[in-house]
Structure 1
């Protein structure tokens, strides 16, 4: 029998929160496959949008460097080739639109600050369970010193790629390189290439961690723990880079020998690709090593600069995030009180000019200016006559009416457009406009105006593709109007259009 006084031991589990955040990072990728059915310009069910998104993040992460990012068009070209593999029978324009749609979704262009938000739960140290909001980005747009946009994969995106959400970076890379060495010795170069690329992504992720710490130091030295956390991170990173460069150079040498001795063209090609991947890892490690060597100098430089730069400025107020969002759920009376106080304090005091005695005496002794009885002369405005701009000339109207005068014949709209284009390049547009009006003719208006004939148009069983116009082709004819009652007119109209059809 269960003891009712028993309560579960709920403790603070940081690993659970990390896994919840890691799961939230995959939500935008799954959302792409959910929303692809809403795309109207393509049959998008063929495409696996989550795979395209992962491939896009992969290309951005591999292309970006320590300081710079990936070019927008460069990523578009690479991902479009992958999209074309999923649907080789589709048009290249559709591949380009799918690529752009996935990339814009990963950037989250529709949001104000371009961040994804997902709720997750966490237990406070006092044992209270609270729901919090996790803000993250996957691909960020930034500008370099020249103002040119480039793309960078965020921490969360790199975590999704390499699977290092709750894993020690050092041990993960050592395991990856041991696996790489075993695969090479066993001759499985295709699998070894995938492991090498995974190790490359781990290196990029590790370098991005260092870059964030250095960028935060440039903004505010006090916001970064340079007493214990960052020095320990730099020491571990230096030891890590030195060991990895030695191991990777040895692996690259072994692969180069396997490439030179291989007789199979496929194996030789795989070995050559693997050499390039390992050499790229070595290059990134060397560049990261250079940054690590200069990290402490950067800290001392920023410490001296910020120490003598004056009092830090207050953070700029955000009316949208600091005022509008918190007040949407409040009553109107409370909102009015808060907004009045906000704008009163944010506007600041107005300094009044207080003249001194030396400036006040000349102002008091200055003679009063003479007042004129009349105001200044009023200038007559210059008015210009605006001439009415006509879209079509009278000559074009006459030509269009002559073409559409079909008293004893029925002609297709496509033939009439070709005939009009031979007379005037702008005339087909006017002919098409009059033909569309004839599809729903104003017969009653024509009778009241005592017109002798009216232009009629009915749908033809053919497609229209002439002079830039596409759609359903029309059959046109001119019907004579007789002085008959309305019922007889309807009968004549039905007989006439039925015969023509």
Structure 2
């Protein structure tokens, strides 16, 4: 924030002595106060709060200037001048070589203070404080949260016992910041688990179970300690001879401790369900079989049911279809700087397309596609027989069908067999798009194929006598009828 404070002197309001650093700390504190709850703070709310502080500091200045100062501070914390990229600075690392000389290295260090996120449940953008920002408020860079929090609560208890309520209020504020840091660590772990369990699988296998057990014991200690501290503070509030300043400080301490206890109670519940979340996500992401996907009947399976639905129920699927058809939606967090760069980019001159160079034919030419007459003859045979039917019935029908002059009967028979085999095992096709179109024109858009172990007896063919049906329901009805007929034959014999 040193650069932001220096640059503030060059703003239109820079001569009036606004304390940018203090306002920045107040902004971070405002974000942390609601971070992790359902009502996380928005950009406009932080600006409004800082504007009120600016008005208290300089009441003689106009309200527009107070808002401008507030926006400047929040934008500096977000680093919007650099399109919200992380701040970066060089740190010095000194080490001693084997010969006793001192070696110096410069290492770039990156950090963020505030970040902007989309709250999907509320449909708005919210601000969150980074770990670096929390550490800046707490006053340390690297520390163990559990040890630090236990130490702070011990210090708070001693301060309350000797009546140092001013110092105790600072310790309670420090404990609240540590609670936010502690909750963020668990939230990050569970969010990574739900997003992609593979990224944290090694952590779960090695030290996460032990960490969760340690966290649970730590939270139980903190909840018990906070209850004792609250009893002590409420005793000071209920004292008849309490001074007004002491009572006011005790009330603020009680509010901070209540917030810590609320956060720890919620965090304890998340800890209890953490293992269940891991097991559920492992089942969902690792063990669920890949579902099959068949081409739907757009008219009867999608459009007609949608038109028959009530208008209120049809809005969501219709809007989803329209969005997917029209393309992606505009992102909520639009960057004005990106738009300016696009508008200022030099216009690209259209270049005439050069004709492609002729390709030399190497080897044998590609085989010709299926002749339209053969394709039409195969479709007519299937329509004449009707589905469901066995592959043997379709092949025998080709041999007795009245085909157009010049149509190769063997080619029609082979085309029907290939279409049925592709529907049964589509992964064997090399040109998938051609296979899809050909099979759909011969057998229908929703045709399905199955096998029941019956062998084909048509001369010239071997293998399973596959069953071809219009759709899944027709195949199920055929299978049920066939099984009943087979059972009847067996009982009769």
- Give me the TM-score of the superposition, normalised by structure 2: 0.54
Counterpart-to-counterpart distance in 1, 2:125 and 2:111: 20
Partner secondary structure for residue 182 of structure 2: helix
**Contact (CA 8 Å) 1:189, 1:271: kept in 2 or not?**
yes
The structure-2 alpha-carbon separation of the partners of 1:98 and 1:354, relative to structure 1 and needing over 3 Å to count, comes to farther
The structure-2 alpha-carbon separation of the partners of 1:285 and 1:229, relative to structure 1 and needing over 3 Å to count, comes to same
The structure-2 alpha-carbon separation of the partners of 1:66 and 1:241, relative to structure 1 and needing over 3 Å to count, comes to farther
Give the match for residue 172 of structure 1. Answer: 148
1:103 aligns with 2:81: no
Q: CA deviation at 1:133?
A: 4.1
Deviations 1:15-39 (A, max 9, x none): xxxxxxxxxxxxxx11111211221
**Contact (CA 8 Å) 2:112, 2:133: kept in 1 or not?**
yes
Give the match for residue 486 of structure 1. Answer: none
Give the match for residue 19 of structure 2. Answer: 48
Q: 2:119 aligns with which of 137, 141, 144?
A: 144
The structure richer in helix per residue is 2
What is the CA RMSD across the aligned residues, in angstroms?
Answer: 3.0
Q: CA deviation at 1:309?
A: 6.5
Q: Which runs of 5+ in 2 are unaligned?
A: 291-365, 377-403, 405-493
Counterpart-to-counterpart distance in 1, 2:208 and 2:94: 28
1:30 aligns with 2:8: no
Q: CA deviation at 1:359?
A: 3.6
Counterpart-to-counterpart distance in 1, 2:367 and 2:228: 80
Q: CA deviation at 1:191?
A: 2.0
Deviations 1:357-384 (A, max 9, x none): 2448689x9xxxxxxxxxxxxxxxxxxx
1:299 aligns with 2:278: yes
Give the match for residue 209 of structure 1. Answer: 185
Counterpart-to-counterpart distance in 2, 1:137 and 1:176: 26
Superposition pairs of residues 67-466 of structure 1, within 5 angstroms: 69-112=40-83, 114-120=85-91, 133-145=108-120, 146-224=122-200, 225-263=203-241, 264-308=243-287, 356-359=369-372
Counterpart-to-counterpart distance in 2, 1:303 and 1:91: 58
Q: CA deviation at 1:174?
A: 1.3
The structure-2 alpha-carbon separation of the partners of 1:362 and 1:156, relative to structure 1 and needing over 3 Å to count, comes to same
Partner secondary structure for residue 143 of structure 1: strand
Q: CA deviation at 1:67?
A: 6.3
The structure-2 alpha-carbon separation of the partners of 1:355 and 1:175, relative to structure 1 and needing over 3 Å to count, comes to farther
The structure-2 alpha-carbon separation of the partners of 1:190 and 1:102, relative to structure 1 and needing over 3 Å to count, comes to same
**Contact (CA 8 Å) 1:123, 1:129: kept in 2 or not?**
yes
Partner secondary structure for residue 110 of structure 1: helix
The structure-2 alpha-carbon separation of the partners of 1:84 and 1:262, relative to structure 1 and needing over 3 Å to count, comes to farther
The structure-2 alpha-carbon separation of the partners of 1:194 and 1:209, relative to structure 1 and needing over 3 Å to count, comes to same
The structure-2 alpha-carbon separation of the partners of 1:291 and 1:123, relative to structure 1 and needing over 3 Å to count, comes to farther
Counterpart-to-counterpart distance in 2, 1:195 and 1:219: 36
Counterpart-to-counterpart distance in 2, 1:119 and 1:302: 40
Q: CA deviation at 1:132?
A: 5.1
Deviations 1:382-432 (A, max 9, x none): xxxxxxxxxxxxxxxxxxxxxxxxxxxxxxxxxxxxxxxxxxxxxxxxxxx
The structure-2 alpha-carbon separation of the partners of 1:85 and 1:228, relative to structure 1 and needing over 3 Å to count, comes to farther
Deviations 1:202-238 (A, max 9, x none): 0101110111111111222122110123223212211
Counterpart-to-counterpart distance in 1, 2:192 and 2:238: 47
Q: Which runs of 5+ in 1 are unaligned?
A: 1-28, 312-352, 366-501
Counterpart-to-counterpart distance in 1, 2:368 and 2:84: 48
Give the match for residue 390 of structure 2. Answer: none
Q: CA deviation at 1:122?
A: 6.6
Counterpart-to-counterpart distance in 1, 2:17 and 2:142: 34
**Contact (CA 8 Å) 2:78, 2:84: kept in 1 or not?**
no
Partner secondary structure for residue 38 of structure 1: coil
Counterpart-to-counterpart distance in 1, 2:107 and 2:372: 61
Give the match for residue 453 of structure 1. Answer: none
**Contact (CA 8 Å) 1:46, 1:86: kept in 2 or not?**
no
Q: CA deviation at 1:147?
A: 2.2
Counterpart-to-counterpart distance in 2, 1:34 and 1:310: 59
**Contact (CA 8 Å) 1:256, 1:271: kept in 2 or not?**
yes
More divergent stretch after superposition (43-52 vs 211-220):
43-52
